[in-house]
Structure 1
């Protein structure tokens, strides 16, 4: 029987709990943009106990930060926590020599109305990197595509292109509104699928959230 248990609570909303391992330690970088900052946690007793790393130095409030060590550096893919539009259609990259920082923003690598918000674990393909990002053409977070980056040994990597990833046919009947996260957990792949349900309460909450973020 599966256990349901809260392992981390804050005064603000926590989402997109990006978990990764480095030198035998397990870290988590959740989306907590309502707090106005990005906070890194380290597992004390995985997965039940976490501690904040106060030395983590990232100067901006961002959404869906996705981090990895590659080609001798730390790389962070993220979207600005600004307007509703900006959080969906802009993808930035930051770099650091050390996990705790300081981090340097390399700027915006993609602006796409169809969506550019990170949506899962990057995949290393020889010298290239494939990053899943959310697509919003049908519905917000209703699909994924892989962006391909090359040239990480250079000063600035290059975005080569992207390829859409369809929902597995076996999941389409139960979850017709797509998927918006694809993550790796060792030998297991986790897929976050989507099914829209409309209600008056949900519409009011979405309206309030849009007003707050605009």
Structure 2
């Protein structure tokens, strides 16, 4: 059995999902499925710029098993362009976007590199350069927000017994580029139902709200929205205020929903369908052969980390 994800967006801000109606299936524009079998797109983040909606997402091919960051651009609800945004020798996903001091940044998950790296957009949407290591730990699904004069980061860490799915960690900094200090109470939350970040953190009615993934009974089963009532370098408390499931959103994709992100005007989501195929064994064999032959590496040079 394997995961098959689809990405969509709604022309409403993320705070809209706090309304009673929440996510409305009739409002969602779905990106087309991948042209090849055993490929999917997930972890959408996006921005409106120059009259176009640009959606960044993880593109994953089971034949290679290394995520890349691709993009799709929409003029209204019409797809006009697709392409590659960022490729590294290691797996990339969760292309969280940050606008700060007139610059656009991306903070993708690349925990196989062993660090958390911030990228700056040099040419929109397809040229991104690494500018700074924010953490010297393999942070997963790092999500940042500015609140009460500080920058806050929420993230997971890899480890045994599915640690990445059951612990929420926090760090804080005076500026986006750091220095970042881990929270005194890490992990601030520990359970499989509401710990791993799952989209854009935002401020609503004076409180930070954080989408988190529900990772039982399956990875990315649903999204729960936490309202963080205490957020200081020494204190943390949060309560769940909403739960979002994939039910009724897209036929054949009712097994998971694990991203809610926005850019103040649009909301981006993904949904999952669990699949079985007689070709699964062949795809796994192909991946192993490609790995043995060294064919699963990046398809273009990687820019060095800027000083």
The 8 Å contact of residues 149 and 157 in structure 1, kept in 2 or not, is answered as no
Within 5 Å, give how 1:40-51 maps onto structure 2. 40-51=118-129
> Which residue of structure 2 lines up, in the alignment, with residue 211 of structure 1?
none
Aligned mates of 1:191, 1:168 — CA distance in 2:
10
Higher alpha-carbon deviation: 194-203 or 107-116? 194-203
Q: Secondary structure at the match of 2:112?
A: helix
Residue 81 of structure 1: how far off its partner (Å) = 2.1
> Which residue of structure 2 lines up, in the alignment, with residue 91 of structure 1?
168
Aligned mates of 1:141, 1:177 — CA distance in 2:
8
Q: 1:145 aligns with which of 216, 224, 232?
A: 224
> Which residue of structure 2 lines up, in the alignment, with residue 136 of structure 1?
215
> Which residue of structure 2 lines up, in the alignment, with residue 15 of structure 1?
93
Residue 114 of structure 1: how far off its partner (Å) = 2.6
Residue 170 of structure 1: how far off its partner (Å) = 3.8
Based on CA coordinates, which of the two structures has the bigger radius of gyration?
A: 2
Mind listing any 5+ residue stretches in structure 2 that lack a counterpart?
Answer: 1-78, 289-307
**Is 1:198 aligned to 2:276, yes or no?**
yes
Aligned residues: 204
Higher alpha-carbon deviation: 127-136 or 75-84? 75-84
The 8 Å contact of residues 156 and 167 in structure 2, kept in 1 or not, is answered as yes
Aligned mates of 2:159, 2:254 — CA distance in 1:
29
Aligned mates of 1:149, 1:202 — CA distance in 2:
46
Aligned mates of 1:131, 1:175 — CA distance in 2:
24
Aligned mates of 2:95, 2:260 — CA distance in 1:
12
- Please report the TM-score for the alignment, with normalisation by the length of structure 2: 0.61
> Which residue of structure 1 lines up, in the alignment, with residue 19 of structure 2?
none
Q: Secondary structure at the match of 1:147?
A: strand
Aligned mates of 2:150, 2:233 — CA distance in 1:
11
Q: 2:188 aligns with which of 109, 126, 129?
A: 109
Q: Aligned Cα RMSD in Å?
A: 2.2
> Which residue of structure 2 lines up, in the alignment, with residue 212 of structure 1?
none
**Is 1:59 aligned to 2:136, yes or no?**
yes
> Which residue of structure 2 lines up, in the alignment, with residue 185 of structure 1?
263
> Which residue of structure 2 lines up, in the alignment, with residue 82 of structure 1?
159
Residue 102 of structure 1: how far off its partner (Å) = 1.5
